[in-house]
Amino acid sequence: MKLDCSAFKNADPDNLWQCVNGKQDNSASCKPVSIICEGFMRLQLKGNQSNVCSGQLEKEENNNWVPVQQDNFDFDVCQQMHCGNSLSPNNSTNKNLNVTCTDEVKVVLHSGKDSKCYGTVNIEVNGSVKPVCASTWTKSEAELVCKELGCGKLIYTKVEHRNSGGIMDHVSCKGSESSLWHCPAKHDKNIQCSNQPYVVCSDSVEVKLADGPGRCAGRLEIKHEGQWRKVPANRWTEAQSAAVCKQLECGEKGKTEKFSQGSGSFLSITCPTNKKISNISECLTENSNNQRPDREVEAVGITCEGHKVVFLSGTCSGHVGIEHGREIYWLSGSKETWNQESADTVCQQMHCGNAASFSFHSRADMINKVWKDSFSCSSRKKSLSECSQTTLLPPDHQTSTAHVKCSGNVKCE
């Protein structure tokens, strides 16, 4: 419907219907008009990611969100926030007003895979999932989704063409809202959508060094949008290797080395040249999956400064050694950390089954070369690198070294 109030030259019309000119406009550029009245108060609930219709009630004042401290509204705040009806408000000890509404609402990203941090944007209301429409979708809304879900920073967003019945459209966020649900938008149970937003956040990206002698050395692979892919070695820099090593908690530096090429396709990355990257996800874009396979392209491999090799002085039995930077060290036999779980972990890492027995040795030549860190392992760990490092070394850290006899054996044929 089109409105034309130009006929009222000297006065405003009494009613808006007087401006209707009877013409229809079905063009794609036609957008609905929105009006915010002077007495309107924007509200939101904050503090509950799993249900954005429960939490501390806030109102917008001068572009800032401030807590509401008393329930003096003459209307149902939950209905205004499209959260159903209000239950009894729960005043917390700090006098700020906490409200729980009858509807349970949360924002979810659906990819059909195992990550909550990328996919199409949807709203789950009382267990039923419906899409968000993308008529006016921008980077601002996508950034808020990543922030709301605790998924890091936005890598990219795009609009996918698909016809469906949506629940939100014409979303317009400032970025300060606690949830996408609380942004100004058209809310309805069955909005006809032709487009749906797709968002990829940085926490959906995983990194590993594969087919190497330990988790801190090997062929670089990046999991992007659910798929592990290799990275071309051409144009790769030492600064990028350092970022990978830091991300894997494998030290501050890394150097490129050649490892097995593996299988699978390559990922195209473009790192910013005007700043130092702290996370390899900063090098990914919407076009990163468009790398064409090339048999002549070499996959980048990295050895981080934190790389160390665990070994036994004998075949599936002996003193537990750690090789690091061409130096040989020995694992501490502290009674606080060298136990059945840690011994099992070492044997499993050596592919020698579990520990049949473990003991403590006090050879003088080994005590002088005890590895600086102490590990606390659980039965679920498969290597020492997966065990947590104790922040304070036990008092007997350097009084003995670890020795183990594993249940299995390795045979060379």
Question: Pick from 204, 229, 254: which residue ends a domain?
Answer: 204
* 46 beta partners: 56
pLDDT(93) > 60 = no
Q: How many CA atoms lie within 13 A of 342 on its CB side?
A: 25
- Closest by Cα among 207, 389, 228, 227 to 304: 207
Q: Which amino acid type is present at position 85? A: N
| Secondary structure (DSSP) of 279-296 | SGGGG--TTGGGPPP-TT
Q: What is the mean pLDDT of residues 301-319?
A: 93
Question: Pick from 148, 170, 204: which residue ends a domain?
Answer: 204
Percent of the chain with pLDDT over 90: 59
Into how many domains does the chain fold? 3
Domain extent for 359:
309-406
**More confident site: 86 or 168:** 168
Q: How far apart are CA 390 and CA 372, in angstroms?
A: 11
Q: How far apart are CA 134 and CA 137, in angstroms?
A: 5
Give pLDDT, residue 388: 87
Phi and psi angles of residue 262, each rounded to the nearest 5 degrees, phi first: 65, -165
For residue 333, what are its two tokens? Answer: 């036999």
- Closest by Cα among 242, 244, 232 to 208: 244
In terms of residues, how long is the chain?
413
End-to-end CA distance of the chain: 83
Task: Let me know if residue 256 belongs to a domain.
Answer: yes
195 shares a domain with 50: yes
95 shares a domain with 181: yes
* Whole-angstrom Cα Rg for the chain: 30
pLDDT digits (tens, 9 = 90+) for 3-53: 777 777 677 777 767 777 766 665 545 566 666 665 668 999 998 889 999
Task: Let me know if residue 109 belongs to a domain.
Answer: yes
250 shares a domain with 213: yes
DSSP state of 178: S
Question: Pick from 178, 204, 230: which residue ends a domain?
Answer: 204
Give pLDDT, residue 412: 58
179 shares a domain with 98: yes
181 shares a domain with 54: yes
Return mean pLDDT, the chain.
88
Task: Let me know if residue 379 belongs to a domain.
Answer: yes
184 shares a domain with 144: yes
222 shares a domain with 190: no
Task: Let me know if residue 20 belongs to a domain.
Answer: no
381 shares a domain with 264: no
By three-state DSSP, how is residue 201 classified? Answer: strand
Q: How far apart are CA 237 and CA 270, in angstroms?
A: 12
By three-state DSSP, how is residue 175 classified? Answer: coil
Q: How far apart are CA 132 and CA 106, in angstroms?
A: 12
Q: How far apart are CA 350 and CA 174, in angstroms?
A: 54
pLDDT(72) > 80 = no
376 shares a domain with 235: no
Q: How far apart are CA 146 and CA 252, in angstroms?
A: 28
230 shares a domain with 296: yes
**Which CATH number covers residue 349?**
3.10.250.10
193 shares a domain with 226: no
pLDDT digits (tens, 9 = 90+) for 298-308: 999 999 998 98
Q: Is the pTM of this model over 0.85?
A: no
